[in-house]
């Protein structure tokens, strides 16, 4: 049983180099090779390979090398290890970043590239009080970052529940207070869900949500340089 929640993040722009892509492709399980190559466009191929490689590293780090070769999926597509039901993981990708979280707790994670004004999307998908919170920021740049901050947090919760997009983001509320504490309201307050954010100041937002972390378990963040692993 692992005790630490481990977060892995990587810049996958290096996978645009054919030699690097082909080298790392040989090192992931066959199912991941096929999945990566099934994408029509290069972006999908390198994102799929990137998250698969991070998962392989994560499993090796926690003494479970090879368990990532057998992955099953829940009703709404949430992946899990059938051979290690007490170990949980989640994957995400956006732009040139990939993210993997492995934990002793149920977990959902999300990374999003920050881009442009998303005020109309907030009005469409967020609760009115969440949209109002975004508008309190003075500049469009700050409002855009606030939007993606909420978006990643919402995605994390939707993923950790196993419901994904079947749970629409306007069906629950997230409140971020002045010192950054995050509270979830979904048919009442839900303190069993703990949200954490990682700010690398690289133009992306990273977050994850874990369930029933009563002990405030430690976390470990690793930024992986894929080229150094060749």
Distances (CA, A) of 11 to 57, 93, 148, 224, 226: 15, 10, 19, 8, 8
pLDDT tens per residue across span 77-124 = 899 999 999 999 999 999 999 999 999 999 999 999 998 877 788 888
Pairwise pLDDT comparison (9 vs 75), residue with the higher score: 9
Res 157: pLDDT: 97
Q: Tell me: do 138 and 115 sit in the same domain.
A: yes
- The tally of domains found in the chain comes to 2
Q: Tell me: do 97 and 190 sit in the same domain.
A: no
- Please say if the pLDDT value at position 137 is more than 70: yes
Q: Tell me: do 17 and 59 sit in the same domain.
A: yes
Binned at pLDDT 50, 70 and 90, residue 75 comes out as confident
Question: What mean pLDDT is predicted for residues 55-78?
Answer: 92
pLDDT tens per residue across span 152-179 = 999 999 999 998 888 999 999 999 988 8
Cα dihedral sign for 169, 173, 178, 180?
negative
- Please say if the pLDDT value at position 203 is more than 80: yes
Long-range contacts from 20-28, C-beta under 8 angstroms, 24+ separation:
20/226, 20/227, 20/230, 21/45, 21/46, 21/49, 23/230, 24/49, 24/53, 24/226, 24/229, 24/230, 25/49, 27/53, 27/56, 28/52, 28/53, 28/56
Res 3: pLDDT: 86
CB burial class (10 A; 0-12, 13-18, 19+) of residue 158? Answer: buried
The rounded distance, in Å, linking the Cα atoms of 89 and 59 is 10
For 17, the 3-state DSSP assignment is coil
Binned at pLDDT 50, 70 and 90, residue 126 comes out as very high
Domain hosting 173: range is 106-212
The tokens describing 161, both together, are: 């529940």
Res 179: pLDDT: 86
Q: Tell me: do 157 and 196 sit in the same domain.
A: yes
CATH number at residue 138: 3.90.470.20
- Please say if the pLDDT value at position 62 is more than 80: yes
The rounded distance, in Å, linking the Cα atoms of 228 and 8 is 15
Q: State the Rg of the chain over Cα.
A: 18
Pairwise pLDDT comparison (3 vs 182), residue with the higher score: 182
- Please say if the pLDDT value at position 214 is more than 70: no
* Overall size of the chain counted in residues: 230
- Please say if the pLDDT value at position 215 is more than 70: no
- Please say if the pLDDT value at position 208 is more than 70: yes
Going through 57-138 in order, the beta strands assigned E by DSSP cover 72-73, 79-80, 88-94, 97-103, 107-113
Q: Tell me: do 208 and 222 sit in the same domain.
A: no
Q: Tell me: do 61 and 6 sit in the same domain.
A: yes
Q: Tell me: do 16 and 55 sit in the same domain.
A: yes
Q: Tell me: do 2 and 62 sit in the same domain.
A: yes
Res 6: pLDDT: 96
Q: Tell me: do 19 and 91 sit in the same domain.
A: yes
For 45, the 3-state DSSP assignment is helix
Res 40: pLDDT: 94
């Amino acid at each position: 049983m692992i005790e630490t929640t481990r977060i892995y993040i990587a810049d996958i722009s290096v996978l645009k180099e054919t030699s690097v892509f082909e080298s790392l492709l040989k090192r992931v399980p066959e199912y991941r090779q096929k999945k990566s190559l099934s994408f029509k466009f290069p972006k999908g191929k390198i994102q799929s390979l990137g998250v698969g490689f991070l998962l392989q590293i994560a499993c090796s780090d926690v003494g479970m090398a090879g368990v990532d070769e057998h992955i099953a999926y829940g009703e709404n597509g949430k992946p899990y290890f059938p051979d290690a039901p007490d170990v949980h993981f989640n994957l995400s990708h956006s732009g040139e970043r990939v993210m993997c979280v492995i934990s002793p707790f149920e977990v959902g994670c999300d990374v999003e590239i920050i881009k442009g004004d998303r005020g109309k999307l907030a009005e469409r998908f967020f609760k009115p009080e969440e949209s109002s919170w975004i508008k309190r920021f003075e500049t469009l740049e700050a409002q855009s970052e606030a939007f993606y901050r909420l978006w990643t947090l919402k995605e994390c919760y939707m993923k950790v529940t196993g419901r994904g997009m079947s749970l629409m983001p306007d069906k629950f509320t997230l409140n971020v207070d002045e010192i950054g504490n995050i509270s979830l309201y979904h048919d009442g307050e839900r303190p069993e869900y703990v949200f954490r954010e990682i700010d690398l100041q690289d133009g992306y937002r990273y977050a994850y949500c874990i369930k029933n972390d009563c002990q405030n378990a430690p976390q470990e963040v690793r930024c992986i340089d894929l080229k150094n692993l060749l």
